[in-house]
Amino acid sequence: IQRMLDAGEVTCTELCAYYLKRIEKFGGKDELNCVCVVNENALSEARASDGRGEKLPLRGCFVLVKDNVDIAGMPTTAGSVALANHIAREDASVIGMLKKLGAVILGKTNLTEFANFLTQGMPGGFSSLGGQVVSAFAKDKPVSGSSSGSAVAMSAGLCSFSVGTDTSFSVVGCAAENGVIGYKPPAGALPSRGIVPITKHFDSPGFFTKSMDDLRIVLSALFG
């Protein structure tokens, strides 16, 4: 995609429109129920990226983010009806980093409520606000841990890469169950400010990609 952008074969605006159409078709409650809200400014941000023409490391990357990570002006609910009207005032640190590197945020993904530590026996991918996330492979297939919405969105090709969070196994477990690549950086390698916490000693943002090459691009941009 980045080679196509550099060659002028596609624009960020066209890519954004493509992903938004896929989200509309597959991401909602009647299908995979993995996307809970779309960034209404995504297209305008993509147009701005085209206008600048900067060759930033994550230019052309369109990202879906687990709904326990703050994005300024968008809801951060952790899947709970109790936080349905909570709007984030500023970006989580990791979101600010991604934006500076050229990524555009497409929206937020459903999750297991409060990242799975609400009650014993909590169904993976279920929340009181969002309902049940559905596997892209089969409706009765488990979607695993709390980052399931981000993993399913990646497996269905609704984004360039997606952001989850991992305290003990949510990113790597969801990746294994949904047929994508998942990476949790060592705790503390990326800042956790702006993420609804389970335990700050172990919480970490993590990433889902389609391939190891894509993951290398993301990590190289973030860590150099």
Sequence-separated (6 or more) residues with CB below 8 Å from residue 120: none
List the strands of the sheet with 35-38, edge to edge: 35-38, 104-109, 62-66, 161-166, 204-209, 181-183
Nearest 5°: phi and psi at 88? -70, 140
Closest to 136 (Cα-Cα) out of 38, 16, 23, 18: 23
Phi-psi region of 190 (alpha: psi -120 to 50; beta: other; left: phi over 0): beta
Structure tokens at 102: 């050229």
Helices 42-52 and 12-22: crossing angle in degrees, nearest 10, is 160
Catalytic status, residue 150: no
Q: How many CA atoms lie within 13 A of 107 on its CB side?
A: 24
Catalytic status, residue 108: no
Catalytic status, residue 170: yes
* Active-site pick, 170, 184, 192, 204: 170
Structure tokens at 30: 């009647």
* Active-site pick, 49, 80, 135, 146: 146
Amino acid at 188: G
* Active-site pick, 66, 99, 108, 184: 66
Structure tokens at 132: 């049940």
What residues are annotated to the active site?
Answer: 66, 146, 170
